[in-house]
Amino acid sequence: MTTRKTKTPKPPARRRAAAKTSKASATRPASRGKFDVMAVGDICVDLILTGNVRPQFRQVEQIVGDCALELGGSVTIFASQLGKLGARVGIIGWTGRDLFGKFVVAELRGAGVDTSRMKTHPKLKTGIGVALSEENDRAILTYMGTINATSPSDIEEKMLGNCQHWHVASYFLLSQMRPFWPGWLAKCKEAGLTTSLDTNWDPANRWEGVLDLLPQVDVFLPNEAEALAISGKKDVAEAGRSLAKLGPLVIVKCGEKGARAFRNGPAKDETWELHPNETTGLPAAVVDTTGAGDNFDAGFLRGWLLGREVESCLLLGHRCAIGSLQYGGGTRGQFVERVTK
């Protein structure tokens, strides 16, 4: 992987580095409270099937190559990877009173994630995603269960004084939370917290509400398809620049093509590109793409919250992503190393 940065106009390198350091210190608060990151989103398990996974109806039975039961849900995979990177991370959400729920809590605790704000629902089952995974692509069948059980009543204002950063995942799946997020993220900003958003895919394909939310977000982390759908643009460069004009640092994940970052400035725009190559790491084999983007989010934000330059954050995100590509599910290949400044 290589990183390439372009800037318009392009000032001297020494002045450019100084400007970025100044902006980083101005937008990232010092470590505060119990948690580095508080994460809210979908909590579920994933059943991943690989090999010949295209189903045939009319009672045709076919044999798949492999299967795995893993932590599922964008926020769950994200929190697990962050914990393994040494971050103090807490998670908010629901599970059911079932074996899947117990499995989720045990796996998260094993990754160093605080689960004290997770609740057990008396009626709903733990959500499950069945992933039919082929190389570089997958289809997902989702049973919602407790995924959408999270509501504004689960968020307490005292949490604002207990963390450094607030992360929102699966914006479209958590329908009860959508009207809540604009006001809450504004409160985060007023309290000095930084924030991030990964919407994930919109099953209704409407993509409503995101553009209004972005002025309250510090880091926006869509993949390529999501960035194009949300922005209404035809290519990644146009989408990234358009979304960055609304305020956030925009990181567009482009799969095997790497990632691109966009930041809008008062006098100039900044862009960065990361291209995978043999020098800095490629996956030995792509077994399953489930969770790669969520692991990338965790790596990028771990570096960003530690004050690293964008290039370094992209590289750490990539390192986390390629680890997960080599195993079924989003957590078995996670990068395990305490990452500090």
* pLDDT tens string 256-290: 899 999 999 877 899 999 988 876 677 778 887 88
Burial code of 202-213, b = ≥16 C-beta within 10 A, e = fewer?
beeeebebbeeb
Q: Which of residues 245 and 2 earns the better pLDDT score? A: 245
In this model, does residue 246 exceed pLDDT 90? Answer: yes
Q: Give the pLDDT band of residue 127 (cuts 50, 70, 90).
A: very high
Residue 156 covered by a domain? yes
Q: What percent of the chain has pLDDT over 90?
A: 74
Residue 340 covered by a domain? no
In this model, does residue 15 exceed pLDDT 50? Answer: no
Q: What pLDDT digit, counting tens, does each position of 163-194 carry? A: 999 999 999 999 999 999 999 999 999 999 99
Residue 84 covered by a domain? yes
Residue 85 covered by a domain? yes
Q: Residue 277, class by beta-carbon neighbours within 10 Å (0-12 exposed, 13-18 middle, 19+ buried)? A: exposed
Which pTM value belongs to this model?
0.87
Number of domains in the chain: 1
pLDDT recorded at residue 5: 55
Of 61-75, 184-198, 214-228, 294-308, the range with the lowest mean pLDDT is 61-75
Residue 226 covered by a domain? yes
Q: Give the pLDDT band of residue 231 (cuts 50, 70, 90).
A: very high
Residue 337 covered by a domain? no
Residue 332 covered by a domain? no
Range of the domain at 284: 2-43+73-122+149-325
Residue 170 covered by a domain? yes
Question: Residue 168, Cα to own-chain centre: how many angstroms?
Answer: 8
Stretch 151-158: mean pLDDT: 96
Of 51-55, 179-183, 265-269, 308-312, the range with the lowest mean pLDDT is 265-269
DSSP helix/strand/coil, 119: strand
DSSP string of 278-308, one letter each residue? TTT---S-----TTHHHHHHHHHHHHHHTT-
Is residue 92 within 8 A of residue 150, CB to CB? The reply is yes
Strands (E), 153-281: 163-169, 194-198, 219-220, 249-253, 259-264, 269-275
pLDDT recorded at residue 24: 41
In this model, does residue 204 exceed pLDDT 70? Answer: yes
User: For the domain that residue 285 is a member of, what is the CATH number?
Assistant: 3.40.1190.20
